[in-house]
Amino acid sequence: MKRVCVAGAGAIGSLFAAHLARVAEVSVLTRRAEHAQALERDGLRVSGRGDFTSCVTAADDPAALPDPDLVILACKGTDLDRLAARLAGHFGRATVMTVQNGLGAEEIVRAHGAWPLLSAVTFMSGTRHSDTHVEYVLDTATWVGPNRGTTGDDAREVAALIESSGLRAVGFDDLRPAQWSKLIFNATVNGVAALTGLPHDFHFAETEHDGDLGLLVRDLVEEGKSTAAATGVELAEDPWEMNVLATGRGNRHFPSMLEDVEAHRPTEVELINGSLVRAARRAGVAVPLHTALYRLVRAKEASYTP
């Protein structure tokens, strides 16, 4: 794989693009023309866990970009349908990889083209300081697995490419155990954070007293585990342990859904909480708490407009 196109240059897309540009020819598909011009002029700078600037090709029109071997769709779930629609009819020789939170990103992309698909979930995080500067914050891995027309070997090849660029990645024959672990974790943590205004911190693991938030978090995780089990997915990690680990030693993180509701932006509630609730319904598992969480977050979005 010599040529990679990163479509969507938010924090995650910028991290992929800047790192991969050290080992491959990278192009970036942006939404805004000024963003593409700035990238071509100034390159893409990484700070934090890295300190370098990469040269990339960039455009706001896929027709203006070289034909890639791999496309990484790195936008938010709420923008995926629009982004995939822009790629329709382009990049016919490429494999397309989704990295969105939740479930169902692949189905959205399938509707817009016949590309072979890879599924990925990413645990890395970054802060976007400008169009051309991203800070690399959490160096946790991206997990890649096969989807339509791909195999575990394809997933491992892409994971190896990502690893060689200085990011962390693992390829799997079946992504679902990892994807579902993250889905349950994300649905729970993002939903609770968006409704309470709390960052993901020690409150999420408190279970000592009646009414403690950790008790709710644990019950939500249990509903998710029942759904995974009924769907035939064996989880890669216990989401409750992920929660305890992530909030230990005074760590706190502002989940994207909390930032979205505070900024009155649409959230990823459909791909994350909605997909979990729908999967539970298909599997015949009652998830009253996740259903409540999903409805409350959607209602909170509705409150943006008077």
Contact positions vs other proteins (CB under 8 A): 192, 195-199, 203, 210-213, 215-216, 219, 288-289, 291-293, 295-296, 298-300, 302-303
Nearer to other proteins by C-beta: 146 or 214? 214
The distance of closest approach from Cβ of residue 258 to other proteins in the complex, given in angstroms and rounded to an integer, is 9
Nearer to other proteins by C-beta: 206 or 237? 206
Nearer to other proteins by C-beta: 30 or 247? 247
Burial of 202-229, coded b for 16+ CB within 10 Å and e otherwise, reads: bbbbeeeeeeebbebbbebbebbbebbe
Nearer to other proteins by C-beta: 130 or 196? 196
Q: For residue 45, what are the contacts with CB-CB under 8 A and spacing of at least 6?
A: 18, 52, 53, 132, 133, 134
Taking each helix axis from N to C end, the angle separating 239-247 and 176-196, rounded to the nearest 10 degrees, works out to 50
Characterise 48 by phi-psi region: left (phi > 0), alpha (psi -120 to 50), beta (else).
left
CA separation for the pair 292, 200 (Å, rounded): 19
CA separation for the pair 238, 220 (Å, rounded): 12
The distance of closest approach from Cβ of residue 195 to other proteins in the complex, given in angstroms and rounded to an integer, is 5
The distance of closest approach from Cβ of residue 196 to other proteins in the complex, given in angstroms and rounded to an integer, is 3
C-alpha 98 chain-centroid distance: 8
Q: What are the start-end ranges of the E strands in 17-132?
A: 25-29, 44-48, 52-54, 57-59, 70-73, 95-98, 117-122, 125-130
Nearer to other proteins by C-beta: 41 or 303? 303
The distance of closest approach from Cβ of residue 210 to other proteins in the complex, given in angstroms and rounded to an integer, is 7
Nearer to other proteins by C-beta: 175 or 189? 189
The distance of closest approach from Cβ of residue 226 to other proteins in the complex, given in angstroms and rounded to an integer, is 14
The distance of closest approach from Cβ of residue 76 to other proteins in the complex, given in angstroms and rounded to an integer, is 22
Tokens at 255, concatenated = 């989940």
